Amino acid sequence: MSIIVKQDSFIEAQIIDLVTRERGKALSRREWMHRLAGYGYSIRETSAGDIVETLPHHVEVCVLPAAMSA
């Protein structure tokens, strides 16, 4: 897996789509996090909102929409 250096809106849209699909399959937030880790992503909770980042380097990819953070 490569580290995303340059932010691209197309890649962000694909990642948001992946996160949304996996959230629909998961029964709990914990399972959702586990499923995302299998794809090499994690969600970091911040005061500004939840951020999707890569594992294991914790490179910020995009910000989750507020509707998905709930």
In a domain, 38, yes or no: yes
Q: What angle do CA 46, 63, 68 make, to 5 degrees?
A: 85
Range of the domain at 24: 9-64
DSSP 41-52: EEEEEETTEEEE
Total domains in the fold of the chain: 1
Higher pLDDT, 8 or 43: 43
- Does residue 60 sit within a domain? yes
- pLDDT for 22 equals 95
- Assess whether pLDDT exceeds 80 at residue 4: no
Structure tokens at 69: 């953070």
pLDDT (tens digit, 9 = 90+) per residue, 18-69?
999 999 999 999 999 999 999 999 999 988 889 999 998 988 989 998 887 7
Q: Is residue 2 part of a domain?
A: no
Which pLDDT belongs to residue 32?
Answer: 93
Strand 60-63 and strand 49-54: the pairing is antiparallel
> Is the pLDDT at 5 greater than 90, yes or no?
no
